[in-house]
Amino acid sequence: MSPAAGAGDPTLQHPLDLRAARPVYRWAAALRALTSPAVSLAAIMLLWVVSDNLVTPVVGPVLGVSTIAYVERRCRADAWAHVARGRQDAGRDDPAAWSAAAVAFEVLVFAGACAVFVPKVGVEAGPTAVAPIAAGMAVGLLVCSLAASTWDRRAPRERRVDNASHGVVQIRQAGILVVSGTAVAMLSERAVLMPPAVALGAALALAVGAIGLLARLIPSRVRCLPERFLQVE
């Protein structure tokens, strides 16, 4: 697929149409996958497995996500700065191959984290203590995915949370549903899932998702590069 594939109005341009902007936009797309709620929650669960501290594994990934999300948005803004505001094709989907790779990465990382974490529950004290919170995070992750999809179906294209096509987004939802449902079912067999702790985990997942969403709502179509670096094409 060429960078301009799927473009509508030929008078509009996207960073992928411009050689100078394309590498920066690619970096932004890669960083966005790292800030997804699925990857963030996977990092928290993996750190719970190797750490005796139950709080630090949460604080570290949250701070990391905040930092990466900011860098991602700045990269995206710099890419868009190469295109005049009146000609920006802000609603164009990212290339399907990129979106599919990002979805596969997110779902597989979350599934891998669950595969490592769940067997430790009932065996090691740390994972067993936070098992209800982990179950809540799995539920909250599914809620985050559904909420983002609902917003994207109703919002203007340039205000969407995800630049992937709706078909790719539905594949992500299906993957997260399967992994989350399986994880919660297995955790319920290994630990007592107290409702307050489950609610805390769900709130944590929603908070992580909100951080990423707020970072993505920073205006992307602003000029962040000096004028001498901007090319008129």
pLDDT tens per residue across all 233 residues of the chain: 444 444 556 678 888 898 989 999 999 888 888 888 899 999 999 999 998 788 889 998 888 888 888 888 888 888 888 888 788 887 788 888 888 999 999 999 999 999 999 999 988 888 999 999 999 999 999 998 888 888 777 766 666 777 777 788 888 889 999 999 999 999 999 999 999 999 999 999 999 888 777 766 665 444 444 444 444 44
CA atoms of 132 and 111, how far apart (whole Å): 17
From the number of C-beta atoms within 10 Å of its C-beta (0-12, 13-18, 19+), residue 230 rates as middle
In a domain, 3, yes or no: no
In a domain, 9, yes or no: no
Query: What sign for the dihedral angle of Cα 176, 96, 163, 153?
Result: negative
In a domain, 184, yes or no: yes
- Please tell me what DSSP assigns to residue 17: G
Alpha-carbon dihedral of residues 153, 157, 161, 166, nearest 10 degrees?
50
Pick the closest to residue 58 from 43, 68, 73, 80 (CA basis). Answer: 43
In a domain, 75, yes or no: yes
Range of the domain at 131: 15-229
In a domain, 197, yes or no: yes
- Both tokens of 51, joined, read 């750490």
In a domain, 138, yes or no: yes
53 phi, psi to nearest 5 deg: -95, 130
Please answer whether residues 11 and 88 qualify as being in contact, where contact means their C-beta atoms are separated by less than 8 angstroms.
no
Distance of alpha carbon 53 from its chain centroid, rounded? Answer: 25
CA atoms of 220 and 72, how far apart (whole Å): 10
10 Å Cβ neighbour count for 109? Answer: 20
In a domain, 141, yes or no: yes
Beta bridge partners of 121: 124
10 Å Cβ neighbour count for 3? Answer: 16
Counting the structural domains of the chain, the total is 1
In a domain, 10, yes or no: no
